[in-house]
Structure 1
Amino acid sequence: MTSHAASITAYWDAAAADFDEEPDHGLLAEDVRSEWARLLRAWLPSEPADVLDAGCGTGSLSLLLAADGHRVTGVDLASRMVERARRKAESAGLGARFLVGDAMRPPTGGERFGAVLARHLLWTLPDPDAALREWTSRLLPGGLLVLVEGRWCESGQSGVPYVAGAEELPWHGGVGAERLAAAVRPLVSELRVESLSGNSVLWGRPVTDERYALIARR
Structure 2
Amino acid sequence: MTPDHLSGIARYWDAAAAGFDDEPDHGLRDPATRAAWASRLAGWLPSGPWDVLDLGCGTGSLSALLAQVGHRVTGVDVSPQMIERARTKLADAGLPATFVVGDAADPPGDPVDVVLVRHLVWTLPDPRAALARWVGLLRPAGTLVLVEGRWATGDGDPYVTDAPPLPWGGGVTAAELAATVAPLVSGLRVELLGDDDALWGGPVTDERYALVARL
- The answer to whether the superposition gives a TM-score over 0.5 is yes
Match of 2:74 in 1: 73
Match of 1:184 in 2: 181
- 1:107 Cα deviation from its structure 2 partner: 1.8
Q: Distance in 2 between matches of 1:35 and 1:166?
A: 35
- 1:152 Cα deviation from its structure 2 partner: 1.1
SS in 2 for 1:84: helix
Match of 2:118 in 1: 119
- 1:154 Cα deviation from its structure 2 partner: 3.4
The two structures, once aligned, show a CA RMSD in angstroms of 1.4
- 1:165 Cα deviation from its structure 2 partner: 5.0
Match of 2:197 in 1: 200
- 1:5 Cα deviation from its structure 2 partner: 2.1
Match of 1:50 in 2: 51
1:27 aligns with 2:28: yes
SS in 1 for 2:21: helix
Q: Distance in 2 between matches of 1:55 and 1:117?
A: 9
SS in 1 for 2:191: strand
Q: Distance in 1 between matches of 2:168 and 2:151?
A: 11
- Output the amino acid matched with 1:186: P
State the number of aligned residues. Answer: 211
Show CA shifts across 1:194-216 (max 9, x none).
00011111000100000000000
Q: Please give the residue correspondences for 1:154-193 in structure 2 after superposition, counting only pairs within 5 Å.
A: 154-155=153-154, 162-164=159-161, 168-193=165-190
Structure 1 unaligned regions, length at least 5: 156-160
Q: Percent identity?
A: 63
8 Å Cα contact 2:5/2:163 also seen in 1? no
Taking a change above 3 Å as real, the CA distance of residues 195 and 165 of structure 1, as seen in their structure-2 partners, is: farther
TM-score by length of 1: 0.93
1:107 aligns with 2:108: yes
SS in 1 for 2:108: coil
Match of 1:142 in 2: 141
SS in 2 for 1:168: coil
- Output the amino acid matched with 2:161: A
- 1:6 Cα deviation from its structure 2 partner: 2.1
Match of 1:151 in 2: 150
Structure 2 unaligned regions, length at least 5: none
- Output the amino acid matched with 2:39: R
Show CA shifts across 1:127-174 (max 9, x none).
10011001001001000000000011235xxxxx93235682111010
SS in 1 for 2:42: helix
Match of 1:158 in 2: none
